[in-house]
Structure 1
Amino acid sequence: MALDLLKMRYFAKIAELGSFTRASSELGVAQPALSSHMRALEAQLGVLLLNRTPRGAVVTEAGQTLLSHAQAILRAVDQAEAATKEQAKYPTGDVSLGILSSICPTLTVPVIEECSARFPKIRLTVSEGDSQALRTAVETRMHDLAVTLESVAKSTAVPLFDETLYAIGPQGRFSRDEVLTVEEALGLPMILPTRRHGIRILLERQALMLGRELNIVQEIEGVASTKAAIRAGHGLTIFGRGAAYADHENGDLSAVPLSRPSLARRLVLDMPVNHPPTRAVLEVRAILLGVVSRLGLEGHWTCLPQVNAAGK
């Protein structure tokens, strides 16, 4: 029969104080009940644990053996309780967040700064990748969360925001009030990623619908490298607004939204299915939703209603 944790706690307190009366007072347990618990514990073990004397309770040799184990067990139980309460207040653990490469520079810093400030015991890892790589990482549970394209993510993914597509050129190439149709954009000398990328797929679909061909002068993987090539005068590109927002605002690059028709892509938050998220993952998710909402209000993209509500 397993030892009763409560009886061991009572026994340890009596042994510590050397008195049933004082132990009764500290524990808030009536002395007759305390005596009954000790008799039951001694009967269970078949040994005398305490000698009752006029001067108090004296621990026997068998009682000393139990006491040494009981103290270690009770200390471990108290530590487990404290650690559990600490986890509820300050969640810990590893969280892997994947973000689409084009918006990763925009989201990463505010998310890690807020996570570090609010939950310093969460170990957050942020990785960037294309939509196909992010889907695979979610399916294999390499990522706990992923901000990716709706067209690639699972149907269970949560919609985050719609991002208008812009033509991006070097400084001064486009004026702020300029209008550029999709058909006009297709004829620009463009630097684009390979065919697996969402924007490339979308543009090729538009070209097919209009009976046009894309004017691709360079294929470059990576937002930073593409921007460098644009600054060096090697061509233009098509980005989501979030990828070029800061560059456009500070005048480092020029940008104009595509119109007739206006093109946009929807980004979502994807997570593994049939795998309950930890408290740490849920906290990072809440931070991410808040950051997305805040950046949407600043003009990076158009947030969807549920994200605006979550970010309040």
Structure 2
Amino acid sequence: MDIRQLHYFLTLAEEGSISSAAAALHMAQPSLSENLMRLESKLGVQLVVRSGRGVTLTEAGQLLAERGRGIVDAAARAISDIRHAGTEARGLVSIGLPPSLGLLLSVPLAETIRSEYPDVRLRISEGLSGDITEWVENDRIDLGCVYELRDNRELLFQPLLAEKLFLISAPDNLPEGANLEDPDAPTIRAIDLRALPLALPAASHGARKVVERFARAAGIALNVVVEIDSLPQIVTMATRASAYTIVPHAAVIDEVAAGTVRAIEIVEPTMTRTAYLLRKRTRPITRASQAVQQSIAVIVREMIERFQLDAVAIDATGRDRA
């Protein structure tokens, strides 16, 4: 199996049909079909199931698509690194961001890289902390931002920021127990969260794990009435007074500014979480990935200051930790 065959297969997996993939690759459909058959023959397994609607990946095909992307990206990166060794930052850098950090970082990071490093191509993927960690482990991405650290000696991490979590409420649905002495900075004690109907991500979500761990430490049982793995939908539940939710300030900057929600600080104790930047120990550090990593640290500090977020940028030295 060569890189070109793998590239053809990955395009087919992304497009979902021979005709669409052939058009994307600027090649004839019979040639693409022949390449696919040769690849299946080499591997000794069926990779796709053909139908009138296109192609569906088999279990083996899904595995090849998952692992193959990292291989193709690594090959492209190696070629670029060899061609431009010792010169300026250039090439592809892929990064995974959880939804709340994506809201804060994606656009300013893309704009910064495009402006300051025009030869760097940035690919941003959104996912859960667990998924992002697996992408780093499997070489699908160069860098990942997560809230949950996995015990894996192959991974290096750098703390990015510590942020407070807030109870989010519709303005006309403020919870009992909320302290409104300072109308611009309402608070609620952790113990008063017990009876509130909450909309949270599923238990596998890194953000949910942080909240559950906090609740156990505070000795309270949360009343989770619905699980939604979508940050916008969870916030919508709060704006419609259908439930409350718990997220960082960065996740509701626009809604708070528009007055569609209130962010209520959780106290006694304060609820916080830490975001980390991950990379794989054995993955080569390119000038491009260094540029992206440094840009992330700078943008985090800028966003905290610009939006007056209840968060603190940490460990700005850029040192990795095992």
Alignment TM-score, normalising by the size of structure 1: 0.66
Q: Deviations over 1:165-212 (max 9, x none)?
A: 100112344543322011112321110111112332233334444554
Give the greater-gyration-radius structure (CA). Answer: 1
**2:269 pairs with one of 238, 245, 261:** 261
The separation in 1 between residues aligned to 2:172 and 2:241, in whole angstroms, is 12
**Which segment drifts farther, 287-296 or 157-166?**
287-296
The separation in 1 between residues aligned to 2:232 and 2:120, in whole angstroms, is 29
CA contact (8 A) 1:186 1:215 kept: yes
1:279 aligns with 2:312: no
**1:303 pairs with one of 300, 306, 312:** 312
CA contact (8 A) 2:214 2:271 kept: no
Q: CA deviation at 1:122?
A: 1.4
Gaps of 5+ in 1: 1-79
Number of residue pairs aligned between Structure 1 and Structure 2? 226
1:121 aligns with 2:119: yes
Give 1:73-222 correspondences, 5 Å limit: 84=84, 88-89=87-88, 91-152=89-150, 156-174=156-174, 175-222=183-230
CA contact (8 A) 1:172 1:254 kept: no
1:252 aligns with 2:260: yes
CA contact (8 A) 2:190 2:267 kept: yes
Residues 237 and 153 of structure 1: CA distance in aligned 2, closer, same or farther (over 3 Å):
farther
Letter in structure 1 aligned against 2:312:
C
The separation in 2 between residues aligned to 1:153 and 1:251, in whole angstroms, is 41
Matched residue of 1:287: which SS? helix
Residues 275 and 207 of structure 1: CA distance in aligned 2, closer, same or farther (over 3 Å):
closer
The separation in 1 between residues aligned to 2:195 and 2:297, in whole angstroms, is 37
Matched residue of 1:303: which SS? strand
Residues 138 and 223 of structure 1: CA distance in aligned 2, closer, same or farther (over 3 Å):
same
The separation in 2 between residues aligned to 1:110 and 1:196, in whole angstroms, is 28
Matched residue of 1:102: which SS? helix
* Aligned Cα root-mean-square deviation (Å): 2.4
**Which segment drifts farther, 165-174 or 275-284?**
165-174
CA contact (8 A) 2:160 2:313 kept: yes
CA contact (8 A) 2:158 2:276 kept: yes
Identical positions, percent: 25
The separation in 1 between residues aligned to 2:150 and 2:251, in whole angstroms, is 19
Ranges of 4+ aligned residues in structure 1 off by more than 6 Å: none
Matched residue of 1:125: which SS? strand
